Amino acid sequence: MTPEVEGYGCTVDELMVVAFSRAMDNDTRAFNGAVSFIPVCGYLLARRTHAPNLVWAASSPRGWWDGRPGVDDSEDLPVEHNP
């Protein structure tokens, strides 16, 4: 666990997630690489608080996850292929 940021009552990681989420809005199209937990948390926070239509694409060695409970692998999602 990272130490608290003096005067903010949160950790550096928590402060980064909030700042990152505030930089996004409904028109945001965002991408992140594998094992990038701070951006993922920022995307999810933005979607839940002020940007429900934010589009997020993630690269992951395990699969794709869109924040829905119970969806943790690409095999669980319907995939449309366009030739």
pLDDT digits (tens, 9 = 90+) for 36-67: 788 889 999 999 999 999 988 877 555 555 55
Domain-located, residue 77? no
**What is the reported pLDDT for 60?**
59
Enter the pTM of the model. 0.66
For residues 26 and 33, the answer to whether their CB atoms sit within 8 Å is no
Domain-located, residue 60? yes
Q: What are phi and psi of 8, to 5 degrees?
A: -115, -20
Indicate the number of domains in the chain: 1
**What is the reported pLDDT for 67?**
55
| Ranges of H-type helices in 1-83 | 12-22, 37-49
| Cα(38)–Cα(35) distance, integer angstroms | 9
Domain-located, residue 36? yes
Q: What are the tokens at 41?
A: 């948390």
**52 is in which domain, residue-wise?**
25-64
Q: What are the tokens at 10?
A: 């949160």
Domain-located, residue 74? no
Domain-located, residue 70? no
| Cα(60)–Cα(77) distance, integer angstroms | 15
Domain-located, residue 2? no
